Every structure is written in C-alpha cells, then in structure tokens.
C-alpha cells in the first residue's frame, strides 16, 4: 500500500495531505539550440555556438 499521493498534473509524489505547487511555480527554462560547431585552430578544441532565444552565446 502506498503512503503517498501522486499529483495528476505533474506526477510528483506527495506526502498524505501535502498540496502540490506545480501550478503555482513558473519556471522558464531557456531554450537553447546549437547553431554550429567549429574547431579551434590553435588548441584543436571543439567549440559549440549556441543560440538562446534571441541571443548567441559561445560554449568552449
């Protein structure tokens, strides 16, 4: 027998009587996509050029 409840919206396991706050939370996860990859000439390391919504960032 389970001693927890499962939220029907997000699937979280909750203690008996514990309310889920999944609808109260607002989490924005930045959407990232790879624009392209390139290799550094001097070091040979791979560089990924990422795009986050309206800006471009470089990850080395």
Sequence-separated (6 or more) residues with CB below 8 Å from residue 2: none
Where residue 10 falls (left for φ over 0; alpha for ψ -120 to 50; beta otherwise) is alpha
Domain housing 28: 5-59
Query: Which residue's entry shows tokens 């290799």?
Result: 39
Bigger pLDDT: 55 vs 32: 32
pLDDT at position 30: 62
Cα 20 to Cα 3, 27, 49, distances in angstroms: 16, 15, 38
Domain count, the chain: 1
pLDDT in tens, 9-51: 989 999 999 999 888 876 666 667 777 888 988 899 988 877 7
Tokens of 32: 């990232």
pLDDT at position 28: 65
């Amino acid at each position: 027998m389970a001693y927890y409840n499962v939220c029907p919206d997000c699937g979280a396991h909750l203690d008996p009587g514990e309310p889920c706050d999944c609808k109260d939370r607002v989490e924005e996860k930045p959407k990232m996509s790879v624009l392209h990859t390139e290799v550094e000439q001097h070091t040979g390391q791979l560089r990924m050029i990422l795009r986050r919504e309206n800006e471009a960032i470089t990850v080395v």
